[in-house]
Amino acid sequence: MIYNTFALPATADRYLVVTDKQQLLDLIAEGSLSNTPFFILGGGSNVVFTSHYRGTILHLENKGIQLLGTDSSTGDLLIVAAAGEEWDAFVHHCIANHWHGAENLTAIPGTVGASPVQNVGAYGIEAKDIIHSVRTIHAETGRERIFTNAECHFGYRTSIFKEELKGQYIVWSVTFRLHPVFTPSIQYKALSDALSAAGISKPTPSQLADTIAALRWSKLPRPEETGSAGSFFKNPIVTSQHYEQLKAQYPDIVAYPVTDGYKLAAGWLIEHAGWKGRSLGRCGVYHKQALVLVNLGGCTGDEVVALANAVTADVRQRFGVTLEKEAIIL
């Protein structure tokens, strides 16, 4: 069984699988999560193991997806899913039940529990757009706490669980706000282009999800074939002034305006720093999408970090932009 999608060799002092809440509360009561470091492993799709983990790896496998009810004022559907559910199985369960809004997030590896932590996103939608609240358990006291959407402090690929309260709360389940009526979100350029090319102007939920999955797999390696952690870096945000300078020098640079400047396509920067398809040791920059680092066979976590550092240094030197890792390095 591979517990990290990069398929890196990894060991830890302890590896625990938790399927029910009492089991987790017992572990907390015996001090298992407060006396030694712990790390919650979801689908292992965003993590790079570089050395033996001196602590406990906790793998949540609690299951269940349930319609809680309808919000009487908005008509929205509230659906709760256990942290251990596989993300894409959840998305497809929603589509099959005509609960709409999660379609654009199809084919993302990982678990439901990871979705609020790093606010997963793709094709114009982020988890924060559909999350109502997050039920958590405090790792030291075992007390339950529900975070409303606003309390999660969501940002681009981040949240309070990755920042201010890192390592303090264990996400146990997530409640989503979905809709009984399907209103497709198809503004993302690559998506609207793909739909037009297929002659689809009003996609059904399944057509939308299938188009996105095809688009995604045309650029990203399939985890079962090639190890990777998806996007390895975040798309960096630079000031408008910095962007204007870059644009003057590189007219075809890809960027999107955001509130505090411009978000640059890191894949473009890496490609134009000459790294697309190149490798260092047994780790490579994926030839179809430069934002993704791949295991070329037998790669170690140290090789991943070495390549990431080399790419970051070159991008900084050429564009004056510092890339931030999206993947977690352990």
Which residue in the set 78, 165, 213, 254 belongs to the binding site for ligand EPU (CB under 6 A)?
254
User: Between residue 81 and residue 110, which ones bind ligand EPU under the rule CB under 6 A?
Assistant: none
Length of the chain: 330
Within the chain, where are the H helices?
21-29, 87-96, 114-117, 189-197, 205-219, 240-249, 266-272, 301-319
Q: Are 77 and 178 in contact (CB under 8 A)?
A: yes
Q: Are 112 and 87 in contact (CB under 8 A)?
A: yes
Shortest Å distance, C-beta 47 to ligand EPU: 12
Which residue in the set 173, 289, 295, 300 belongs to the binding site for ligand EPU (CB under 6 A)?
289
- Is residue 326 at the binding interface for ligand EPU, with CB under 6 A as the rule? yes
Shortest Å distance, C-beta 30 to ligand EPU: 36
Q: Which long-range contacts (C-beta less than 8 Å, at least 24 apart) are formed by 144-150?
A: 144/172, 145/169, 147/116
Distance CA 138, CA 149 (A): 18
- Is residue 287 at the binding interface for ligand EPU, with CB under 6 A as the rule? no
Q: Binding mask 155-194 vs ligand EPU (x if CB under 6 A, - otherwise)?
A: -----------------------------------x----
- Is residue 149 at the binding interface for ligand EPU, with CB under 6 A as the rule? no
- Is residue 271 at the binding interface for ligand EPU, with CB under 6 A as the rule? yes
Count of residues in contact with ligand EPU, rule CB under 6 A = 19
Q: Which of 318, 229, 325, 194 is nearest to 268 (CA)?
A: 318
103 or 326: CB nearest ligand EPU: 326
Distance CA 302, CA 323 (A): 18
- Is residue 213 at the binding interface for ligand EPU, with CB under 6 A as the rule? no
Which residue in the set 38, 268, 275, 319 belongs to the binding site for ligand EPU (CB under 6 A)?
268
Q: Which of 58, 107, 102, 104 is nearest to 84 (CA)?
A: 58
User: Between residue 107 and residue 146, which ones bind ligand EPU under the rule CB under 6 A?
Assistant: 122-123
Q: Which of 259, 233, 204 is nearest to 321 (CA)?
A: 233
- Structural tokens at position 205: 């939920």
Shortest Å distance, C-beta 45 to ligand EPU: 8
Which residue in the set 112, 246, 291, 307 belongs to the binding site for ligand EPU (CB under 6 A)?
291
- Is residue 308 at the binding interface for ligand EPU, with CB under 6 A as the rule? no
CA dihedral 206, 211, 213, 217 (to 10 degrees): 160
Q: Which residues are catalytic?
A: 157, 231, 326
Strand partners, 228: 294
Shortest Å distance, C-beta 320 to ligand EPU: 18
- Give residue 144's identity as a one-letter amino acid code: E
271 or 302: CB nearest ligand EPU: 271
Which residue in the set 101, 205, 230, 301 belongs to the binding site for ligand EPU (CB under 6 A)?
230
Distance CA 14, CA 293 (A): 28
- Is residue 235 at the binding interface for ligand EPU, with CB under 6 A as the rule? yes
- Positions touching ligand EPU (CB under 6 A) are 122-123, 190, 219-220, 230-231, 234-235, 254, 265, 267-268, 271, 276, 289-291, 326
